[in-house]
Structure 1
């Protein structure tokens, strides 16, 4: 089966392309900029076939041309701007265009090409202010109260995809991802706050120090875990319209820093003193509740990527690509 993935030169979508190609699949990787040489080389070394195409998701004609040339069976839409407050204030229209209008453009092109199934990458940020209430965040029971412009656009993009799917008879499945870290995460220019795991690992490569304002407990999920979950969601005969993608367990950034300290003797980490500024951003000033995982289990996926396994796999990747994590320390 051929799968088309938008935003493929970025982070999560790049990990998805890698996992599918690892399984021997043919993937059409679409992005507005070519992948970095390291990513292209990694794809080329895998059993599957990755065909890269340059196209902007805001250009329905260009996306339509790629679909017509490669005729994929399914589309995974991952292109987005993961904006922070500064970008929200400086370029709101660009965020709205990519994260909402871009969804409509891709759906328009998919409809014209006769695509029957689309997996849309949404975000747990769609829960917004409700993310700190209750035991778990449930797709039905937990309301969506997005606050940041990124969260608003991810929720609106998700709703746009589902509505157009309903109107046009396309099987659209929205995957609400919890906080992701791991392989191929780097500064791409469209992710304003990189994961705490990335930040701490970069500090470790520089033999520096990481200062946390709190332990940072959350249901963090590794990029390969997400990729495996998305492929299960893609392949399931049926699925709920919105499915949380989380590991079903929690651990802390402090635990990650502890593993880094064992691996890198020059690295130090600690909790901030009163009034001291942290050096690691933990994606907000509170720890979000974990995502319910029952709907993901219903499509046949249960995470096997615990903290230690994720750490070892990521360290192997970091050793091969140190310049993508900490250019100043790569030598």
Structure 2
């Protein structure tokens, strides 16, 4: 029996990397191809235990390299493409927007062209709730799939642009696509510059934790494994051309998240250090996932169980993140937060 071939772009990153593991563990009848350029946030050591798995294949390539991508697609004839590969850190997009346009917009177009050329069964574009802009602090308001796109950072603008390209390829060429827009993810193998792993690693090391502004900005937190399950469902059951929002109904202020980590690790809140607010810092994100729930998805984790598991993972895997936060990343951190 023919095995389906699934291309996961950005499979060495945080969410893509967890998705690769999720799919390999769940489906023995799929070949999983992990395509990644291995930039600063890319890490394939997380897949070490799968390197002898005949269903797992790694390809190092740049999604914006048209000639290489076309050659790979023509050779492998993928059945599904799940597109995670993106520059994703808002702070870095503010300091260098150009690379975000190249990877997130032009790279997506290359993948769409390649997918159209070979006739994939489904192209799943993994996006973000940040394309919607921000919400006020009214707890009854939520992003839905009908919310207009109003991105406020170079990162979210590049993601919104790629979303529109994906939609256009469906409407113009009939390419079978879905777009998922998720809230903030957390969990194992999260790169240490993001809020939760940054806080965990610095609290463990008794270092100051930078909090932008007054810490009142609100995010809706989603465990990465719940996100993987949602993408799996959309890939197989999503109606072609549709957008699905993925949210965990776990709204917390940034300050609440930091204090939760500090309390769990038994450290002092004196580690908190408020720093100058990020440019264009969105106030609140919150997602209504009803459409996806009607498709059959329900999150497994609430924030309390998920954050406890995540903190324990970082305690158990200090060697992994220790080597990341040394060297070049440390120079970036000091420049970004001036701590």
TM superposition score normalised by structure 2: 0.81
RMSD of aligned Cα (Å): 3.0
Residues in 2 aligned to 1:132 and 1:104: alpha-carbon distance in whole angstroms: 36
For 2:21, the equivalent position in structure 1 comes to 18
**CA separation of 1:283 and 1:27: change in aligned 2, threshold 3 A:** farther
- In the TM superposition, what are the counterparts of 1:229-244 in structure 2 within 5 Å? 229-236=230-237, 238=239, 241-244=242-245
CA displacement at 1:72 relative to structure 2: 2.6
Structure 2 gaps, min length 5? 327-339
CA displacement at 1:146 relative to structure 2: 1.4
For 2:222, the equivalent position in structure 1 comes to 221
Corresponding residue to 2:274 among 273, 277, 287: 277
CA displacement at 1:239 relative to structure 2: 5.7
**CA separation of 1:85 and 1:79: change in aligned 2, threshold 3 A:** same
CA contact (8 A) 1:130 1:143 kept: no
- In the TM superposition, what are the counterparts of 1:78-97 in structure 2 within 5 Å? 78-85=84-91, 87-89=93-95, 91-97=96-102
CA displacement at 1:308 relative to structure 2: 2.6
CA displacement at 1:37 relative to structure 2: 5.1
For 1:168, the equivalent position in structure 2 comes to 173
CA displacement at 1:8 relative to structure 2: 1.1
Deviations 1:36-63 (A, max 9, x none): 3521314448x78321011111123322
CA displacement at 1:82 relative to structure 2: 1.9
**CA separation of 1:68 and 1:317: change in aligned 2, threshold 3 A:** farther
SS at 2:225 equivalent: helix
Deviations 1:88-123 (A, max 9, x none): 44x333221111111110011111111121110111
Residues in 1 aligned to 2:46 and 2:125: alpha-carbon distance in whole angstroms: 23
SS at 1:180 equivalent: strand
CA contact (8 A) 1:240 1:295 kept: no
CA contact (8 A) 1:210 1:269 kept: no
Structure 1 gaps, min length 5? 188-193
TM superposition score normalised by structure 1: 0.83
**Number of aligned pairs?**
316
SS at 1:325 equivalent: helix
SS at 2:188 equivalent: coil
